[in-house]
Structure 1
Amino acid sequence: PFKGVQKLSMVLCKVNEVLEIGPGWDIQIMFPDITELEIDYCDGLEKLPTAVCNIVNLQELSITNCHDLCELPEEIGSLS
């Protein structure tokens, strides 16, 4: 795990491939202290991965310039 990492920026990447690597992989376990997530210029991102909703310490979520994004998971409402 990457303890102490509070901000993660994903720019020009395939977010779905990064956040949903495989069974048992959990962003909350890999980055337990993350409070900010930035997703920018990620072409091809049509749906925000459900894994984002599992980040319990998340305080700021920024999604910009992802023009293909058309769907958010229902679980996004559980973020506070």
Structure 2
Amino acid sequence: IIEDDKSRAYTKPIRLVKKGDLIVVGEEGIRITPPERPREGGGLFEFMASEVSPEKPSAFIVKRVAEDLKQTKER
């Protein structure tokens, strides 16, 4: 997502994208400067602590899997 003043880009879960959000698309991408941060102390699964992670199931997916399991059990 690109902010209105075009000075900053950030990620957002697809389920939170709204009509009118400016989204980067295409093959060229954007140039970024990542913030400096300490390298030590990071755990193996530190990526799971972020708000946005494709490894984290969304509530929708969890609900859908539960419904599918229930239907399978009823058969």
User: Would you say same fold, with TM above 0.5?
Assistant: no
TM-score (norm 1): 0.23
Which protein is richer in helix relative to its size? 2
**RCO (CA 8 Å, sep 6+): is it higher in 1 or 2?**
1
Query: TM-score, with normalisation over the residues of structure 2?
Result: 0.24
Report the structure number with the largest CA radius of gyration. Answer: 2
